Structure 1
C-alpha cells in the first residue's frame, strides 16, 4: 500500500494571534481540555488560574461545537472591522 492511497488524516490545529496550536486527535480529550480551561477560568481568583482561561476554553471548544464556532467567527469579524477603522 503506497502513501498516496492512504486517506489523509485531518490535523487538529487552532490558529490564534497568527500562530497555530496543535490539539489532540481524540475528540473527547479536546472537549475535556476545553471544559478544564473554562472551569479554571471560573476560579480566576486563585493564583495561576485566571480569566485568560475562559477565551482559551471557548476557542478549544469552538473546534467541536458549531454554536460556539459561530459566535467565535462573529467576534473575529467584529474585531477585524474595528481594527480597520
Structure 2
C-alpha cells in the first residue's frame, strides 16, 4: 500500500475503473473489490461500506455455525 494519499486514491480509482472493463482479456472483475479496499483507507464512505460488509459477513458465519438444537422435535411437514 503506497504511503502517499494521492497515489493511493489514483491506484484505487484505476483498479475500480479497470475492473469495470473486466470483460477484456487482461483486466478482471477482481479489481473492483481491491480498488474499493484501497480507497477505503482514505475515503470514509467506502470505509463504512467495508465495515458494514465485514460485520454482515461475520454475523452470517455465526448464524451458519450455530448448531440446531438436538433436543427439539423435528418440524412437521
TM-score (norm 2): 0.78
Match of 2:44 in 1: 66
Q: CA deviation at 1:46?
A: 0.5
Once superposed, what is the RMSD of the aligned Cα atoms? 0.7
Cα distance in 2 for partners of 1:48, 1:84 equals 37
Question: Which of the pair is proportionally richer in helix?
Answer: 2
List alignment gaps of at least 5 residues for structure 1.
1-22
Cα distance in 2 for partners of 1:52, 1:26 equals 23
Match of 1:6 in 2: none
Q: How many residues align?
A: 63
Cα shift readout 1:8-47 (whole Å, capped 9, x = no counterpart): xxxxxxxxxxxxxxx1111000001100100110101101
TM-score (norm 1): 0.71
Cα distance in 1 for partners of 2:62, 2:25 equals 36
Bigger Rg over Cα: 2
Q: CA deviation at 1:50?
A: 1.2
Dislocated runs of 4+, deviation >2 Å: none
